[in-house]
Amino acid sequence: MFDTGLFDPIIRKFIKLINGDPMKAVVFAALLAGLVSLDGDGSMTYMITVTAMLPLFKRLRLAVITHLW
């Protein structure tokens, strides 16, 4: 879905909303993760947050670092 550009209109609107500020994007990602984690399922928190924010981070050219613990 990412390769076909399905989420491009949403990403463009969000970038306009945050004025392209990477700090606002990171804060929003943290807030999104906090809200999703209220159900207590860590794997679902990871999947929703990464799926929602990865295209935005790529568009803003933020470094995406993978931690394998």
Q: Which three-class secondary structure string do you get for 13-56?
A: HHHHHHCCCHHHHHHHHHHHHHHHHHHCCHHHHHHHHHHHHHHH
- Tally of domains in the chain: 1
Note the pLDDT of residue 6: 65
**66 part of a folded domain:** no
* Residues 1-12, mean pLDDT to the nearest whole number: 69
CA distance 55 to 38: 24
Residue 18 lies in a domain: yes
Structural domain containing residue 19: 6-60
Domain assignment present for 68: no
Tens of pLDDT, residues 11-65: 788 888 888 888 888 888 888 788 878 877 778 777 777 777 888 888 888 887 7
Residue 3 above 70 pLDDT?
no
pLDDT at 45: 79
Is the whole-model pTM more than 0.75?
no
